[in-house]
C-alpha cells in the first residue's frame, strides 16, 4: 500500500485553519499520501479570510503558513466544490481512504425568544461575513442609518462587531474590508452601542487585548456602571485564580471604563451585565429589547445566570446576536444538535456507540467554537494521529482518489478551481486594492471569481 502509486488518499473538507493544520499533519507523517482539500468557495482560508476582522491584519499573516502547506507535493486544492451540493459523503468515502471534516461552525446559536428574526435583528455571522466580503452575505442589508445598536454576547466576536460599528470609517479605509461595507459604514449614524452579558464582568469572554481596544477607539466613550463592578465573594475567588488572568484583567479594564464620561464624543459603547434578552420588541422591525435581570448562582467557576423576575426594556433600532457559533449538519452523517457539532471520539466520527469508518472531524465542528486560530493545530494533530493509526491498520484497498472524483464534475456543472487559479484571484484582488491603499479588494461574488479564472 505504501508505494507512491498507491498513496493513501485523504480528503479534507474545508480550507480554514483546522483543515490546513490537518493537511500539514498528514503531509508531515512521512507516508506516501495524497491530500485533497475540498472547499465550497473558490477561495481558501475559511475564517482567516472571512471571519478575522479587517483591522486585525496580523492575525491574517498565518495565511503564509497555509500557503506553504498548499504548495507542498501531495496537496491538491479543489475549490468551489461543496459537500452536499457537488459531492456526497458516500462518494467521498468511495474515492478516499479517509475523509476529515473541517467545515467549522458556519451558523449561529439561537436566543430562542420572540421577535428574534424581526428586520433589524442580525446574527454575528451575517454582519462579519458581510464586512469581510463573504459571497453568502454580499447582499445582506444593515440599516446603519439608525442611532442605537445592541449587541448580545460578550465574546471576541461581539468585540469585532462593536469595533467595526464604532471605529471612524477612515481608520478602516486601508484595511481589506469590502468596499460595499465601507460605503455603508461611511453613512452610519450609529451613536450608541450597548453590549449585553447575561453574567457579570468577571465572566465576560473577551480577551483583554480585544476589550482594551474597545476603550481606545477615537471619538468614542467606553462606559460601564460602577454598581456592576461590586463583585461577590465567588467572583473574587475566580479573579484571584492565576489560571483566570484574563478575567482579572478584564475587570480592571471595566473598572477604568466606569470612570469615563460620554462627554461630547461622537459615539459611545456601554457595557451591561446580568441581563438576558427575553423578547425583541417591534411591529415591523426592531424597536427595543426586553431583558430579564439576572443574579449569579452556583459555585465559583460554575456560576450561572438565574432570573430575578425583574425585567426592563432597552430601546434600540438594531440588534446583533453574537452568542456563539454552531456547526451545520452534513447530510449522511450524524449530528449532535444540542452542541452543534459532529459527534466524535477524539476526532473519529461516532454514531451512537459505533465509529463511522473512514470519517473524521477536526476544529470547531469537532469541539465547538472555542479558542484562537492556533488552538486548531493541536486539535487537528490529534485527529490526524487517529486517522493514521486506523489507516496503517486498515486493509490495503485501493481508492480511485481525486482524479476520478474530478472526472464526475463536468456532468454536474461543477467547475472546480485549483490552487493556481486561487493565486490568480489573489493577485487580482491585491491589484484591485492597490489604488485605494488597501492590501486587497476582495471579489465578493463567486461568478466574478469564476469569470476571472476562465470558468465563467
**Part in contact with ligand NAP (CB under 6 A); list of ranges 90-98, 231-239, 312-320, 370-378:** 370-378
Does position 123 interact with ligand NAP (CB under 6 A)? The reply is: no
Does position 374 interact with ligand NAP (CB under 6 A)? The reply is: no
C-alpha cell belonging to residue 12: 479534507
CB of 48 to ligand NAP, least distance (A): 11
Site string for ligand NAP, 31-60 (x = CB under 6 A): -------------------------x----
Does position 158 interact with ligand NAP (CB under 6 A)? The reply is: yes
C-alpha cell belonging to residue 301: 467557576
CB atoms within 10 A of CB 89: 19
**Part in contact with ligand NAP (CB under 6 A); list of ranges 129-137, 312-320, 342-350, 366-374:** 366-374
Does position 308 interact with ligand NAP (CB under 6 A)? The reply is: no
**Part in contact with ligand NAP (CB under 6 A); list of ranges 31-39, 259-267, 341-349, 363-371:** 363-371
Site string for ligand NAP, 266-285 (x = CB under 6 A): ----------x---------
Buried b (16+ CB within 10 A) or exposed e, 185-208: beebebbbbbbbbbbbbbbbbbbb
**Residue 411 to residue 89: CA distance in whole angstroms:** 18
DSSP SS3 for 353: coil
Question: In angstroms, what is the C-alpha Rg of the chain?
Answer: 23
* Binding test (CB under 6 A) with ligand NAP, winner from 107, 116, 146, 156: 156
DSSP SS3 for 103: coil
**Residue 417 to residue 20: CA distance in whole angstroms:** 17
DSSP 316: -
**Part in contact with ligand NAP (CB under 6 A); list of ranges 70-78, 216-224, 280-288, 368-376:** 368-376
* Binding test (CB under 6 A) with ligand NAP, winner from 42, 104, 153, 340: 153
**Residue 19 to residue 365: CA distance in whole angstroms:** 11
C-alpha cell belonging to residue 82: 461543496
Does position 168 interact with ligand NAP (CB under 6 A)? The reply is: no
The sign of the torsion formed by the CA atoms of 448, 449, 452, 456 equals negative
Q: Judged by CB, which is closer to ligand NAP: 276, or 416?
A: 276
- Binding residues for ligand NAP, per CB under 6 A? 56, 109, 111, 152-158, 160, 197-199, 203, 205, 210, 276, 322-325, 369-372
Amino acid at each position: 500500500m505504501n508505494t507512491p502509486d498507491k498513496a493513501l488518499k485523504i480528503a479534507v473538507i474545508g480550507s480554514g485553519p483546522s483543515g490546513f493544520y490537518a493537511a500539514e499533519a498528514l503531509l508531515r507523517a512521512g507516508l506516501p499520501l495524497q491530500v485533497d482539500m475540498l472547499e465550497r468557495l473558490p477561495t481558501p482560508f475559511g475564517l482567516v479570510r472571512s471571519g478575522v476582522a479587517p483591522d486585525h491584519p496580523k492575525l491574517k499573516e498565518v495565511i503564509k503558513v497555509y500557503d506553504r502547506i498548499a504548495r507542498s507535493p501531495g496537496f491538491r486544492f479543489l475549490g468551489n466544490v461543496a459537500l452536499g451540493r457537488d459531492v456526497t459523503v458516500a462518494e467521498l468515502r468511495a474515492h478516499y481512504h479517509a475523509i476529515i471534516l473541517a467545515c467549522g461552525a458556519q451558523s449561529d446559536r439561537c436566543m430562542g425568544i420572540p421577535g428574534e428574526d424581526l428586520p433589524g435583528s442580525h446574527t454575528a455571522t451575517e454582519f462579519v461575513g458581510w464586512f469581510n466580503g463573504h459571497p453568502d452575505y454580499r447582499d445582506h442589508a444593515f440599516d446603519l442609518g439608525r442611532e442605537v445598536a445592541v449587541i448580545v454576547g460578550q465574546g471576541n466576536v461581539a468585540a469585532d462587531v462593536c469595533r467595526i460599528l464604532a471605529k471612524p470609517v477612515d481608520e478602516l479605509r486601508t484595511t481589506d474590508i469590502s468596499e460595499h461595507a465601507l460605503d455603508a459604514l461611511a453613512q452610519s449614524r450609529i451613536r450608541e452601542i450597548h453590549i449585553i452579558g447575561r453574567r457579570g464582568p468577571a465572566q465576560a469572554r473577551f480577551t483583554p487585548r480585544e476589550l482594551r481596544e474597545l476603550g481606545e477607539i477615537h471619538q468614542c466613550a467606553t462606559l460601564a456602571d460602577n454598581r456592576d463592578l461590586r463583585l461577590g465573594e465567588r467572583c473574587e475567588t475566580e479573579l484571584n485564580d492565576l489560571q483566570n488572568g484574563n478575567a482579572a484583567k478584564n475587570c480592571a479594564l471595566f473598572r477604568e471604563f466606569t470612570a469615563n464620561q460620554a462627554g461630547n464624543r461622537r459615539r459611545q459603547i456601554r457595557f451591561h451585565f446580568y441581563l438576558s434578552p427575553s423578547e425583541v420588541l417591534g411591529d415591523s422591525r426592531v424597536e427595543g429589547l426586553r431583558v430579564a435581570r439576572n443574579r449569579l448562582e452556583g459555585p465559583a467557576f460554575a456560576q450561572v445566570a438565574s432570573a430575578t423576575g425583574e425585567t426592563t426594556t432597552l430601546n434600540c433600532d438594531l440588534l446583533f446576536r453574537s452568542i456563539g457559533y454552531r456547526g451545520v449538519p452534513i447530510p449522511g452523517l450524524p449530528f449532535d444538535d444540542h452542541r452543534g457539532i459532529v459527534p466524535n471520539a477524539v476526532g473519529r466520527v461516532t454514531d451512537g456507540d459505533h465509529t463511522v469508518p473512514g470519517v473524521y472531524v477536526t476544529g470547531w465542528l469537532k469541539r465547538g467554537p472555542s479558542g484562537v486560530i492556533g488552538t486548531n493545530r493541536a486539535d487537528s494533530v490529534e485527529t490526524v494521529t487517529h486517522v493514521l493509526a486506523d489507516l496503517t491498520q486498515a486493509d490495503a484497498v485501493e481508492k480511485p482518489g481525486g482524479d476520478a472524483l474530478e472526472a464526475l464534475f463536468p456532468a454536474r456543472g461543477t467547475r472546480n478551481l485549483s490552487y493556481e487559479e486561487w493565486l490568480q484571484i489573489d493577485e487580482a484582488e491585491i491589484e484591485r486594492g492597490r489604488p485605494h491603499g488597501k492590501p486587497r479588494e476582495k471579489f465578493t461574488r463567486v461568478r466574478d471569481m469564476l469569470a476571472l479564472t476562465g470558468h465563467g
